[in-house]
Every structure is written in structure tokens, then in C-alpha cells.
Amino acid sequence: MVRGVIFDVDGTLAETERDGHRVAFNRAFASLKLPDRWDEQLYGELLWVSGGKERLRFYFEHYRFPPLDGDERDWLAIELHRRKNEFLLQMIREGQLPPRPGVVRFVGAIQDAHIPVAIATTGSREWVEPLLRTLLGPERFQRLAAIVTGDDVQRKKPDPEAYELAVSRLGLAPHEVIAVEDSQNGLEAAKRAGLTCLVVRSRYSHNHDFQNADLVVDEFGTPRDPTRVLWNPHGIAVNGMLDVATLRRLHDQCSVISDQWAVGSEGITGH
Ligand code: XBP
Ligand code: MG
């Protein structure tokens, strides 16, 4: 039985990267009178580096000409990141980052079925919590069972630490939990933590490798725009919109497969 669902934030709950973080990073560059600007394509490449500060350091070292290194790079990364988060918070307060279509309905249905919902993101707590409150509304936000952010872990995705921590805060075992992700780094993190993973592809993840996912769809689905299935290795029935029944079918099917693996390996090893 599925006993918990853990959602990623950026790209999954809202299209925060292209229209949120990227725009806020560019405002931060401008506020320090720096000439650097990140267009949509460059930002897509930089997204392979998780974490805003880490992304800035990587950019200064590998993309910028002349490159920056040492103390100047570290100081700028910290200051630009602080400013980026301020600009992002302003955008959140102004309602410029709406939820993805159908996601609030989906989260609400899971909570109403008394299945705990948690968060595992590599973003910073200072903007993650206000964004979650805005996207889900205060009541559903209060009902989140755990919120793990980039501030809580040593290593960001694709490392599994954020998922491992969220699973342990839920008091569950990995095989009881489904992760909902939008990116290849996120999928890898969830899989390395031993979770079943549903991917809802986002704007920046069209070219990502999702072969290890248990189900890949394009959207959560609304009555007007039903979900399209993109990769379905377990042959799960998806009826127009993702719902609790979809998660139960997905989890049941993945449990059957892991039981078969267990039986298979017992047969091989003789234990
Ligand atoms: C999201 C990220 C984050 C944000 C920025 O990855 O990589 O770093 O881009 O957040 P995921 P901060 O969706 O896999 O969690 O600037 O607060 O680090
Ligand atoms: Mg994401």
C-alpha cells in the first residue's frame, strides 16, 4: 500500500525555473551592475547543477569570460544568491508563479485520502515555504507532513540525501513511498533512495533521460487538458488526470515487480 508521497518543488509544483529563478538571477546581476545575463538556453544547461549558489559558482568558473575564481567568485555567488532569493520572494508575493495545472487538485486528493504528503527539494527554505503556502493555500500547507529543503542536507540532488531524510521524517520505509519529480537529477535522487518515481515532465526536462522512471507523463491533467502518458514501463492505466487511484496502481505494480525480484534473487542465491 502507498503510505506517503513526496513532491519535488521546482518544475514539479510550478514552472519556477524559467519564469522565476532565471528572471530573479538576471535581476540580481543587474542590481550589482554586472553584464551577465542568463537566457533560456544557457539556463537549461546550468540547471544540471543543483542549487543556486552552486550554479553561480559553476557558471563563474566554466562559462564566464574572463572566468572568476577564488574569493571573488565565492563572495559574488553568496551575494548574488541572496539578492536572487529576495527578487524571487517578491515575485512569489506578487503571484507571478502559479501552480502547474492540476497539481493542487492532485495534492489535495492525496491529503484527503489521508496519505501523508511531504516535500524534498534542493531549494532554500527562505523561499520554499512562502512558495508552498502560496501554491497550496495555508490549510494544505499546514497539512504537509515534512518539508526537506537544500538547507537540511549536505549533498543536493542527484544525491539521495533529501529523499532519504524526507522518508525518515515520514517514519516510513522507501518501498512505501512514491516520489513525484520533473527532472533527471530528481529522478536519480529518488531512485537511489529506493522510491517508486512518477515523473511529470516540465519545460526544461524534455530532453532528459527518464528510462528509470516508473511512469512519465506530460502534465497532472485537467478536465480540459488530459494527461498524456510518455513512458509507461509497468502498463499503468491513466484515466485522463493523475489521481490517488493512479498512485495506488503504480505502487501495487512496482511492489509486485520488487517481490518478483526478491523471489528471483532468492532462487539464485538459495537463501
Ligand atoms: C531545483 C534547484 C534549485 C533552484 C534554486 O532542483 O536546483 O537549486 O534552481 O534554488 P530540484 P536555490 O527541483 O531538483 O529540487 O537558489 O534556493 O538553491
Ligand atoms: Mg525539479
CA distances from 222 to 47, 117, 131, 171, 204 (A): 28, 21, 22, 32, 21
186 lines ligand 1 (CB under 6 A): yes
Active-site residue (options: 8, 182, 214, 243): 8
CATH code linked to domain 4-15+99-270: 3.40.50.1000
In angstroms, what is the span from residue 183 Cα to ligand 2's centroid? 5
- Report the atom number in ligand 1 closest to the C-alpha of 149: 15
Size of the chain in residues? 271
Residue ranges of the chain that CATH labels 3.40.50.1000: 4-15+99-270
150 lines ligand 1 (CB under 6 A): yes
Q: Which of 8, 21, 89, 188 to mutate to test the pocket of ligand 1 (most atoms within 8 A of CB)?
A: 21
Which residue's alpha carbon is at the smallest distance from atom 14 of ligand 1? 186
202 lines ligand 1 (CB under 6 A): no
Q: Look at strands 146-148 and 117-120 and give their pairing.
A: parallel
Q: Look at strands 229-231 and 215-217 and give their pairing.
A: antiparallel
Q: What's the CA gap between 258 and 253, in Å, rounded?
A: 9
Active-site residue (options: 10, 36, 182, 243): 10
Q: What's the CA gap between 227 and 221, in Å, rounded?
A: 4
Check residue 260 and give its pLDDT. 62
Check residue 69 and give its pLDDT. 75
Cell of 210: 527518464
What sign has the CA pseudo-torsion 129, 133, 135, 136?
positive
In angstroms, what is the span from residue 264 Cα to ligand 2's centroid? 34
Residue ranges of the chain that CATH labels 1.10.150.240: 16-93
pLDDT in tens, the chain (271 residues): 899 999 999 999 999 999 999 999 999 999 999 999 999 999 999 999 999 999 999 999 999 888 777 888 889 999 999 999 999 999 999 999 999 999 999 999 999 999 999 999 999 999 999 999 999 999 999 999 999 999 999 999 999 999 999 999 999 999 999 999 999 999 999 999 999 999 999 999 999 999 999 999 999 999 999 999 999 999 999 999 999 999 999 999 998 766 665 555 443 333 3
Q: What's the CA gap between 135 and 13, in Å, rounded?
A: 8
158 lines ligand 1 (CB under 6 A): no
**Which residue is listed with cell 480540459?**
224
Q: Look up 8 and say whether it is catalytic.
A: yes
State the pTM of this model.
0.93
Which residue's alpha carbon is at the smallest distance from atom 8 of ligand 1? 51
| 141-138-222 Cα angle (round to 5) | 75
In angstroms, what is the span from residue 267 Cα to ligand 2's centroid? 39
Q: What's the CA gap between 204 and 209, in Å, rounded?
A: 12
The fold for domain 16-93 equals DNA polymerase; domain 1 (1.10.150)
